Amino acid sequence: MEISILAEFVRLVETCNFQETADQMNISQSALTKHIHKLEEELNVDLFDRSQRSIQLNEYSQRFYPYAKQILRSYEEGTAALKEMQEVDKASVTVAYNPLLGQYGVVEILSDFSSQFPHHTLIPMESYNSMELLTNKKCDFAFVSEAEAEGSNFSKMIYKTDHLAVVMPKDHPLAGNRTVTLDQLEKESFVLHSSHMDTPHDETHKFLELCQQQNFKPNIIAESHFASTMLHYVKNGKGIAVLNRMHIPDIASDMAVVDISPTVRTYLYLMYPRHIRTSCSKDFLHYMIDCCNK
């Protein structure tokens, strides 16, 4: 007995119409008729009372119908259970991350996991739409910025905590300070981080929010997608750059980095589904929990 024919029988019982059932099952009416005849031959009974214009259920179809539905339900539950087992045994995990998070050790984290768990396959995905990939189940985990994580229903853990700082030439009058206030930066020109998305970059958003709170109007002379480009502006004396401290590239070693006061913190998150099923994903999650608790 074929499951597909059993499903056609159940649908025919529910519609009592060959053409409607054929359309719903995406087969021809003649093929459906042949399949029902085959089922009747197998069972050695007539399942329907037929006339030229319609069909009617008889005592055999009425008696067999609930058992056929139960068989179909058991088949669907069984195939779903097998699929879940295959997922659990899957030895790969896909991790997406925003390219802007490169300064936060994401690549090093992924490489270390692969070294510690050589029996698992880790697939990294660099994307400016990491949350979209996670939402569409195209990745298992996503490293994202605070703005990307906002309003999400996924589980999350704080991967890194950072804070705003300004980068300025070493001969700048404020270069020796541990912190600077907006009042001290009143006459400065600012280089900010532009966004690859519709909303402002996290760093820029946090800085402009602070300026608004303190009624400070920054003189913004340039914006760039890349931190390295922002520092070239600083190096050429065009202004000072506002960046999260951990996001400042190594090329700033010949410049001064001073924290903004009051401290403006930002958080980077690891996002993941509420239910983790595969052994590989569970190992990655536990690995990240250990890393974040060190």
Looking at residue 107, what is its pLDDT? Answer: 92
Looking at residue 199, what is its pLDDT? Answer: 60
Looking at residue 251, what is its pLDDT? Answer: 82
Sign of CA dihedral 129, 133, 134, 140: negative
Amino acid 200 reads P
Which among 86, 117, 139 is the end of a domain?
A: 86
Give yes or no: residues 25 and 74 share one domain: yes
Give yes or no: residues 107 and 173 share one domain: no
Give yes or no: residues 284 and 211 share one domain: no
Give yes or no: residues 203 and 66 share one domain: no
Taking only Cα atoms into account, the Rg of the chain, rounded to an integer number of angstroms, comes to 31
244 has pLDDT over 90:
yes
CATH no. for residue 54? Answer: 1.10.10.10
Angle subtended at Cα 221 by Cα 216 and Cα 223, rounded to the nearest 5 degrees? 100
Q: 């600083």: which residue's tokens? A: 234
Q: Round to whole Å and give the CA distance between 293 and 189.
A: 39
Tell me how many helices (H) and strands (E) the chain has: 10, 12
Looking at residue 149, what is its pLDDT? Answer: 87
Give yes or no: residues 78 and 102 share one domain: no
Q: Encode pLDDT of 112-169 as tens digits.
A: 999 999 989 999 999 988 999 999 989 999 999 888 888 888 999 999 999 999 999 9
Looking at residue 84, what is its pLDDT? Answer: 64
- pLDDT average, residue stretch 244-249: 89
Which among 52, 86, 120 is the end of a domain?
A: 86
Element (H, E) at 115: helix 106-116
Least confident of 71-75, 113-117, 195-199, 258-262: 195-199
Quick one: DSSP state of residue 38?
A: H
The angle that helices 3-15 and 29-43 make with each other, rounded to 10 degrees, is 110
197 has pLDDT over 70:
no
CATH no. for residue 250? Answer: 3.40.190.290
Give yes or no: residues 143 and 284 share one domain: yes
Give yes or no: residues 147 and 276 share one domain: yes
Element (H, E) at 156: strand 155-169
Q: 């980077």: which residue's tokens? A: 268
How distant, in Å, are the alpha carbons of 98, 163, 276 from that of 281? 19, 30, 7
The residue segments making up the domain with residue 56 are 3-86
Q: Round to whole Å and give the CA distance between 129 and 98.
A: 7
Beta bridge partners of 126: 97
CATH no. for residue 155? Answer: 3.40.190.10
Q: Are 21 and 27 in contact (CB under 8 A)?
A: no
Looking at residue 128, what is its pLDDT? Answer: 84
Q: Which two tokens stand for residue 65?
A: 């119908």
The β-bridge relationship of strands 179-180 and 255-260 is parallel
- pLDDT average, residue stretch 65-75: 91
- pLDDT average, residue stretch 73-80: 86
Looking at residue 85, what is its pLDDT? Answer: 63
Contacts of 163 (CB under 8 A, 6+ apart): 244, 245, 259, 260, 263, 264, 265, 266
Give yes or no: residues 280 and 258 share one domain: no
Task: Read off the pLDDT band of 52 (50, 70, 90).
Answer: low
Q: Encode pLDDT of 185-195 as tens digits.
A: 999 999 998 87
265 has pLDDT over 70:
yes
Q: Are 48 and 36 in contact (CB under 8 A)?
A: yes
Report the domain count for the chain: 3
Q: Encode pLDDT of 204-233 as tens digits.
A: 999 999 999 999 999 999 999 888 899 999
The mean pLDDT value of the chain amounts to 89
Q: Does residue 41 or residue 1 have the better pLDDT?
A: 41
Q: Round to whole Å and give the CA distance between 80 and 86.
A: 10
Task: Read off the pLDDT band of 252 (50, 70, 90).
Answer: confident
236 has pLDDT over 60:
yes
